[in-house]
């Protein structure tokens, strides 16, 4: 375990550093001097020691620190109004969000924040957890369908709403929406999303949140996170160790290939949502 308050040169040398410094970055962006000093020390050490493999490389992590940068990347790679804090992955406040229905509601927010169009998606969220060439689909509860009108702003914590055991009333579909048949998830689309983002970011440890439009069947990427929780992913440590060993042997792969689409891995889900098969292999 690295002590970020002590010189790294005194703690090394390191063959590989597995890090999750997004919280420190978020604190530094909020003018926390201690966090900023720790980040500067970390980045300087990496520059001085190019022989140390860093998982994941910091340039990709930088692109995910601010949500507006993340969404610009998504627009560039995919081309296809929820208000969120600008900083992602920085603690509880990064999950505080709201659905705004009218112009008056916009006046309630402290800037800066990021706005997305809200897509009705049948209260189903697909969380893609990426571990290098291996990825899993976890089905989670999500916000129910909302419709334009003059109702009051709906505030929520996205982490609480989408917990595996969430019982939030915001995840319960209204009677008129319960009979609608939801589009079936296509593992080939998930595979392309994972492959594309790994190539764009040069990262192995990613969490990608995806919803499917209930009306059009189009896919929406609503968030991308570095080194996510991997909650509910089976045999996590086994997959992580395999990835670390692989990267020690092959630190800079020439290309990232799509996982064959005719192989299988299970999709893991909560008891409230029927289990599906993602159609993609971990091997």
Per the annotation, binding residues are: 20, 67, 84, 95, 116-127, 142, 209, 223, 225, 229
Question: What is the three-class DSSP state of 224?
Answer: strand
- Residue 171 CA to residue 259 CA, distance in Å, equals 32
Binding residues for Mg(2+): 209, 223, 225
DSSP 110: P
DSSP 277: B
Look at residues 240, 245, 250, 239 and name the one whose alpha carbon lies nearest to residue 283. Answer: 239
Q: CB pairs under 8 A, 24+ apart, for 176-183?
A: 177/120, 177/122, 177/144, 177/145, 177/214, 180/122, 180/214, 182/122, 182/124, 182/212, 182/214, 183/212, 183/213, 183/214, 183/217
Distances (CA, A) of 111 to 84, 153, 243: 10, 16, 39
- Residue 21 CA to residue 90 CA, distance in Å, equals 10
In the block, which residue shows the tokens 């983002």?
Answer: 197
Binding residues for 1D-myo-inositol 1,3,4-trisphosphate: 20, 95, 127, 225, 229
Binding residues for ATP: 67, 84, 116-127, 142
* Bridging pattern class, strands 96-99 and 82-85: antiparallel
């Amino acid at each position: 375990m690295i002590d970020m308050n002590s010189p790294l040169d005194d703690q090394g040398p390191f063959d590989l550093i597995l890090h999750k410094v997004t919280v420190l970055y978020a604190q530094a962006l909020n003018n926390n001097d201690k966090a900023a000093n720790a980040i500067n020390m970390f980045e300087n050490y990496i520059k001085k020691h190019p022989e140390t493999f860093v998982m994941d490389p910091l340039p990709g992590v930088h692109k995910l620190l601010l949500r507006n940068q993340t969404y610009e990347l998504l627009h560039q790679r995919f081309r296809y109004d929820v208000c969120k804090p600008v900083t992602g992955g920085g603690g509880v406040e990064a999950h505080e969000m709201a659905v705004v229905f009218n112009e008056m509601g916009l006046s309630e927010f402290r800037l800066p924040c990021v706005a997305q169009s809200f897509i009705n998606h049948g209260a189903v969220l697909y969380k893609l957890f990426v571990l290098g060439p291996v990825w899993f689909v976890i089905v989670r509860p999500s916000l129910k369908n909302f419709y334009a009108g003059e109702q009051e702003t709906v505030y929520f914590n996205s982490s609480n709403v989408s917990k595996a055991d969430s019982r939030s009333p915001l995840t319960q579909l209204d009677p008129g929406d319960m009979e609608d048949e939801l589009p079936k998830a296509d593992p080939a689309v998930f595979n392309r999303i994972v492959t594309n983002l790994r190539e764009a970011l040069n990262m192995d440890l990613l969490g990608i949140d995806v919803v499917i439009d209930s009306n059009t069947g189009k896919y929406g990427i609503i968030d991308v996170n570095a080194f996510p929780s991997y909650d509910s992913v089976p045999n996590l440590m086994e997959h992580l160790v395999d990835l670390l060993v692989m990267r020690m042997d092959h630190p800079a792969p020439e290309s990232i290939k799509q996982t064959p689409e005719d192989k299988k891995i299970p999709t893991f889900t909560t008891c409230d949502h029927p289990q599906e098969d993602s159609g993609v292999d971990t091997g």
